[in-house]
Amino acid sequence: MMRTINASEFKAKCLALLDEVAKTGEHITILKRGRPVAELIPPVSTGQGLPQESIMGTIEILGDIVAPPLPADAWDVLRDDAPPEE
């Protein structure tokens, strides 16, 4: 069964409860006027780093990633025969 605690008690013991959840992994449901308002759970990926680190080294850059995808003469605004802007 999941442990429950009133919001006022959670407020008074917050830091100790955070340590307890980190140590035991037990979930704590926080109640306000007898109704659940939040749940304190341990983090899912403790110590595994950032998600993007898992794809590091798997991407290969082909070509110039800074240059525009089209040559300058393909842009209407840069052509001499382009209709005037209103």
Q: State pLDDT tens for residues 60-77.
A: 888 888 988 888 778 777
What is the residue extent of each domain of the chain? 1-43
Helix (H, G, I), strand (E, B) or coil at 9: helix
* pLDDT band for position 28 (cuts 50, 70, 90): very high
> Does the structural domain 1-43 have CATH classification 3.40.1620.10?
yes
Cα dihedral 61, 66, 70, 73 sign: negative
pTM more than 0.95: no
Tens of pLDDT along 33-70? 999 999 999 887 656 677 788 788 888 888 888 988 88
Residue 44 sits at the vertex; the CA angle it makes with 46 and 20, to the nearest 5 degrees, is: 75
Walk across the sheet containing 3-6 and list its strands. Answer: 3-6, 28-32, 35-40
What is the identity of the amino acid at 57? Answer: G
Predicted confidence at residue 11, as pLDDT, reads 96
Q: List, in order, residues 6 or more apart from 3 with CB less than 8 Å away.
A: 26, 27, 28, 29
Question: Cβ distance 37 to 26 under 8 Å?
Answer: no
